[in-house]
Chains A and B, each alone.
Chain A
């Protein structure tokens, strides 16, 4: 049986909760938009029920630990194709070995989930540094970026503490999602800009000062552009002020 959900984390937890409650084994778990090729397989559309999702999350935290709960979420956020089945098998092993689950580092499912979770966290950490805000003419700090993993919530939590009461908007242009902070609370929602934002009069000057600093802080005798690219791959240059 193939299970289909809406692509949200709560949606996946709902599916998993249903599966484990009924002791069913899925052939696959797919997202709403993805049309599976197998015409003859039976597809069970699973509607998202926040209560079921919350129940599973509570069970995981209680019996497997908070580390496992975080791994599950971060691996899901990696957005890697097929991650749903890996998460299902990871949890299935979890019910057997309980709190020892995350020590089974040689188990392929555990390794897959850990690797995916690690990727999400690594990218979130990278963007805590590489995200660039631009000040719009009405004082909002706007930061577009294009991450591989869905790390908007990670970043929103980080910048809500960091930037104090300044208002900001972080825009995941790959997923058309935005995190908006009004100085006290943040929320994530669908986002498409109809017109390009206009920036404050000073914005260009500060960008130019930053570029100047960036170029002159490098020691010419130690030039090593390959090393630079290894730490800061070109896929992240798109919105990087100092590289444009």
Chain B
């Protein structure tokens, strides 16, 4: 193992790390001079890989050797795969040299479980300490927390990292038992709860004193795999909602299951359920920025998202009594519920109408896309849809037919929400 070159190690450990969806580098604000690096609240994408996902961090495993044998994971013990391990020095060297050439915004370090959770965490911490203490590296660091690690190691991790995450892996305990029998739901939720406490405490202390120590200032996130187990979208979304509310997570990442190994416990998929993943991200945005609740978007009867139409339009079609709304009077949160009006458009409408009423022409000048919105709004009392909001064929009208000249054009828009930095 030790005679691998750095090139070979990077190849193996990037391939092993790529199924983790998180790439965000936002949420921290660290400006100091002298040493190398700082972090910006908005985050920054540095490149985009061939799958269209943004690269903002050096996303890499410390080691892809793992004592676990989770069915869905490329690094499972029983997978016949060359194994590689980086030393703390190699990680630091890579991060610093990539950072100063402006390839990356920071480091996202994760690892296979090497011998035990404690030993794995301790090794990751060693690399991060080397970066922060010895090299005084000020860039963004996202550190993966290994379930089952000693709480003291988790606490130490938060002192060095901007963001921490522990992966919930699968949407239910039953699936976890089935596909990752060596992992326990309890061991995943325990560090999550501990981190929530520590993040909250550190934030409260910071309000009292600017000198109070930070703990994971960019918060914590998690990831779960969709499509490897039988849960419905409703179950997934309700889980996400409770993670946002009760664990105060910054982000939940959904990862369409990519069949990387054969296992008869896994569904036989031809390709990863990317559209389903996309719908979940859209709904996730509705939870976090649009004031929707999971129970408004789905219920036990409609437990899956419509693959033809986005979740907000589906909600609107089921709640036609809510529409049309008058753009000059509706408050911000009401505007956000109109299909076709997003955060930016709603903000611009609220700004612009303070200096004069808006008609449809004005809306267009604001850059509000009326293709869908026109069925759901009035402007100065006028309605622009060629049919009214109660009409039966409204759903058909909202589903845009694929453009004949560029048949892939519809697919292009699919993942814009995922890679957007928020």
Contacts and interface: CB of A to CB of B under 8 A. Distances in A.
Do the two chains bind? yes
Interface residues of A, number: 54
Interface in A95-133: 97, 100, 103-106, 108, 111, 125, 128-133
Residue of A133, A135, A165, A232 most packed against chain B (CB within 10 A): A232
B415 interface: yes
Nearest to B59: A217
Contacts of A231: 45, 48, 52, 54, 419
Contact of A214 (B6, B55, B138, B351): B55
B409 to A, nearest CB: 9
B365 A164 contact: no
B47 A111 contact: no
A85 to B, nearest CB: 19
B355 A222 contact: no
Contact of B52 (A106, A130, A221, A224): A224
B366 A105 contact: yes
B137 to A, nearest CB: 10
Contacts of B46: 129-130
Interface of A: 97, 100, 103-106, 108, 111, 125, 128-135, 141, 143, 159, 161-166, 202, 206, 208-210, 212-228, 230-232, 240-242
Contacts, number: 166
Nearest to B47: A242
A226 B352 contact: no
B98 A206 contact: yes
A97 B55 CA distance: 44
A134 B98 CA distance: 11
B56 interface: yes
A108 B60 CA distance: 48
Given A131-B102, A217-B59, A227-B412, A222 B51 contact: yes
A163 B351 CA distance: 38
Interface string B5-25: 011001100110111000000
B51 A129 contact: no
B11 A216 contact: yes
Contacts of B351: 103, 105
A212 B11 contact: yes
A215 B11 CA distance: 8
Given A221-B272, A230-B412, A165 B50 contact: no
Interface stretch (B30-38, B80-88, B322-330): B30-38
A133 B101 contact: yes
Contacts of A227: 48, 51-52, 412, 414-415, 419
17 contacts: A100-B355, A105-B365, A106-B362, A129-B47, A161-B33, A164-B33, A165-B34, A208-B7, A210-B98, A213-B60, A216-B10, A218-B51, A219-B19, A219-B258, A221-B258, A221-B271, A228-B48
Given A161-B31, A231-B419, A232-B48, A222 B10 contact: no
B355 A97 contact: yes
B50 A225 contact: yes
A111 to B, nearest CB: 6
B408 interface: yes
B18 A219 contact: yes
Given A135-B101, A227-B48, 5 more contacts: A105-B365, A108-B365, A130-B47, A218-B49, A219-B51
B218 interface: no
